[in-house]
Amino acid sequence: MNPAQPIERIQCQWCQGMNPKTALTCVACGAPLDIRNLVSESGWREAPRLRDMTEFQFSSSTCQVEGEIVPVAEIHLGANDSVFFEHHIMLWKDDNVPLTVLQLSGGLKRAFAGMPFIISVATGPGRIAFSRDATGELVVLPLHPGMELDVREHAFLLASHQIDYSFVRVKGLTNILFGGQGMYMDRFVTTGSPGLVLLHGYGNVFERKLKAGESIMVEPGAFLYKDSTVTMEVEFQRLGGLFGGANMSLAKMTGPGRIGIQSMYVHHHTE
């Protein structure tokens, strides 16, 4: 790369991907490139509002985003490409797209609404589409090799096969609304080649980059994702007052790294 040469490319400010100068949407994450970022004065950036029918690419596959209130991610899988996902979010698929079940290591047992928690895999070529069950936004997070992303349970829509998946149980990470039994956090790690993680955030989604040592207190139900470099500790706050007072637990997130939140506190609990 010669820095003296003018670079006829635009960098996407959401995923840092490079795009041809004529592109209107980012080829790697679908973010509009011709619209100013919406950044609040407190430093939160709104997740890019993906235009209806936007397309973007990962490995040899394409994803098209359809609808705006409860968006659908429609994947056109290339041959030998595959994506994995939670089985209850499939909307439709071509009948010749094979489904298999992802073998999870560690023998951890996890159940969702009384059903075994299963990660399914769809392999191309063919089309398959996904959506979650509420108003919200699709968050497209291309992962470069070496990146680690922590996502709150049942927030991920799908991930491409290049990504390693595991999960951890975080104790204490539920607020007074949900009884404080803890919740799972999915972890996505890329090792060899770049991959893609797609999340569904309930309501609106905001992202902020925390500097090293910078902290923010977040309602645990609003937590959506973070870089694994961001630490999270649960702080129990006693508010005082009548009847021994009300209490509240908040998650203290400390940088460096990205943190994403959603504005609606939907909580699908997994035992």
Partner 1 sequence: MFCTNCGSAVKDNANFCTACGSAMQHAPVQPAPEPPPAIAPTGVETKCPWCAAEIDASHLSCPRCGATLEAPPVQSASGWAELPGRKDMAKLQFGDSFCQIEGLYVPVADVNLAGSDSIYFTHHILLWKDPQVNITTMPLASGWKRVFAGLPLIMTQAHGPGHIAFSRDAPGEMIALPLQPGEEVDVREHLFMLATHNVAYDWFSSNVWYTTGSGDETETHYPVGMFMDRFSAPQAPGLLLLHAAGNVFVRELAPGQTILVKPTALIFKDPTVQMQLHFEHPRSGFTLWGNWTNRYYWLRLWGPGRVAIQSVFDRSEGENKYLKNCSAATEQHW
For partner 1, the binding residues (CB under 8 A) are: 1, 3, 11, 16-18, 36-46, 69, 135-137, 144-147, 176-177, 194, 202-204, 206, 209, 211, 215-219, 221-222, 237, 239-242, 245-246, 248, 250, 252, 256, 261-266
**Comparison of 10 and 99: residue with beta carbon closer to partner 1:** 10
Nearer to partner 1, 228 or 270 (CB): 228
DSSP character for 24? S
Q: State the minimum distance, in angstroms, from the CB of residue 154 to partner 1.
A: 15
Query: CB of residue 89 vs partner 1: minimum separation in angstroms?
Result: 19
Nearer to partner 1, 38 or 108 (CB): 38
Q: Which DSSP state fits 255?
A: S
Measured between alpha carbons, how far is 75 from 126 in angstroms, rounded to an integer?
A: 8
Long-range contacts of 113-118 (CB under 8 A, 24+ apart): 113/268, 117/86, 117/270, 118/86, 118/87
Smallest separation, CB 264 to partner 1 (Å) = 4
**HSE-CB of 166 using CA atoms within 13 angstroms:** 9
Least distance in Å: CB of 67 to partner 1? Answer: 12
Residues 6+ apart with CB under 8 A from 169: 182, 183, 184, 185
Nearer to partner 1, 24 or 38 (CB): 38
Q: Given the complex with partner 1, which of 116 and 145 has the nearer CB atom?
A: 145
Count of residues making up the chain: 271
Which residue is it, tokens 């073998």? Answer: 103
> What is the closest distance, in whole angstroms, from the C-beta atom of residue 28 to partner 1 in the complex?
11
Closer residue to partner 1 (CB): 229 or 270: 229
What's the distance, CA 115 to chain centroid? 23
Least distance between partner 1 and beta carbon 61 (Å): 18
Nearest to 28 by CA among 68, 5, 6, 59: 59
